[in-house]
Amino acid sequence: MRPVALVTGASRGIGRGIAVALADAGHDLVINYAANADAAKEVQAAVEAAGGRAVPVRADVSSAADRERLVEETYAAFGRLDLLVNNAGVAPDVRADLLEAGEESFDRLIAINLKGPYFLTQLVANRMIEQIGTGVVSAPRIVTISSISAYTASVNRGDYCVAKAGLAMMTTLYAARLAEYGINVYEIRPGIVATDMTGAVTEKYDRLIHEEGITPIRRWGQPADVGAAVVAVASGLLPFSTGQVIDVDGGFHLRTL
């Protein structure tokens, strides 16, 4: 039986790269998306081309009712869940200076980028514990996709940075709480990755990467790079690690002179 993964925000960007990588590695997928049904169907086709099953589920992770329905539809479709990947996230609509930014953007980003995965993980963890007890799954895993913004200050998008920093602690908390059940929890921290979210600042990052060497590995990251890290976790290659931060950032985190 193929293992099952639920990937939030799987219709585009990093989420799409993760879903395709997991399908190639032998997983069936629940493809969560917020709005773009056509994009989700494209990912579904890619999963099916890799020999897997895929079920698109539209759900807003900031909504408690949608989170509950997403989990119910996952178990209704497959009867099990081996991997949760918290990937869904948004950027601020407008980059606003920290001294001028308003509460509306802050509330939106915290709801989607932090509150959503925090409580979705709670729902899924409880179901995983039940299924471990009944022998349906063994050693399920939870992965949260955060960002170098968890520790890198961008004063024109403080709400985004605060949300990502919260995900880092969320990973630590769930890793500590779930270890007794054999559920390992990981944070994957991408750097500068080529997606529609970074498309608006391509020129800036091209200069920083290729001319200024902000990353020792002088290229853009790709969604497939993040997908490869998720596959490593999903394949059980880190069995004695939990709460681990996996940097997928071209070496951005290195402090060099």
pLDDT tens digits, 162-183 = 999 999 999 999 999 999 999 9
Question: Cα-flanking dihedrals φ and ψ of residue 204, to 5°?
Answer: -60, -50
Q: 197: pLDDT confidence band, cut at 50, 70 and 90? A: confident
105 φ, ψ (degrees, to nearest 5):
-65, -40
Average pLDDT of the segment spanning 193-206: 84
* pLDDT confidence bin for 202, thresholds 50/70/90: confident
The encoded tokens of residue 141 equal 């895993």
pLDDT tops 80 at residue 199: no
Nearest to 7 by CA among 239, 233, 244: 233
Asked, for residue 104, whether it belongs to a domain, the answer is: yes
> Is residue 111 one of the residues assigned to a domain?
yes
Q: Count of domains in the chain? A: 1
Whether the predicted pLDDT of 126 surpasses 80: yes
Residue 43 lies in a domain: yes
Residue 255 lies in a domain: no
Strand, coil or helix: 159: helix
Tell me what pLDDT residue 210 has: 93
What pLDDT, on the 0 to 100 scale, is given for residue 4?
98
Q: Which domain holds residue 74?
A: 4-247
Q: What pLDDT shows up at residue 79?
A: 98
Examine the pLDDT at 200 and tell me if it is beyond 80: no
> What are 81's two structure tokens?
């869940």
Whether the per-residue pLDDT at 205 is higher than 90: the answer is: no
Both structure tokens of 227: 């997908």
Q: Specify if 11 maps to a domain.
A: yes
CATH number of the domain enclosing 176: 3.40.50.720
Rounded percentage of the chain residues whose pLDDT exceeds 90: 94
Distance (Å, whole) CA 3 – CA 22: 10
Residue 118, pLDDT score: 98
**Residue 140 within a domain:** yes
- Mean pLDDT, range 71-79, rounded to an integer: 98
Domain-located, residue 253: no
Rounded CA-CA distance 185/177 in Å is: 10
CA distance 129 to 215: 40
Per 3-state DSSP, what percentage of the chain is helix, strand, and coil (rounded to 5)?
Answer: 50, 15, 35
User: What is the arithmetic mean of pLDDT over 41-46?
Assistant: 98
Average pLDDT over residues 42-69: 98
Tokens representing 221 are: 């990251």
Q: How far apart are CA 180 and CA 183, in angstroms?
A: 8
> Among all chains, which residue has been given the structure tokens 């990588």?
21
Model pLDDT, residue 169: 98
Q: Is residue 103 part of a domain?
A: yes
Mind telling me the catalytic residues? 160
pTM of the predicted structure, to 2 decimals: 0.96
Least confident of 154-158, 176-180, 199-203: 199-203
Whether 198 shows a pLDDT value over 80: the answer reads no
- Mean pLDDT of the residues in the chain: 96
The mean pLDDT of 21-47, rounded to a whole number, is 97
CB-CB contact of 27 with 52 (8 Å): yes
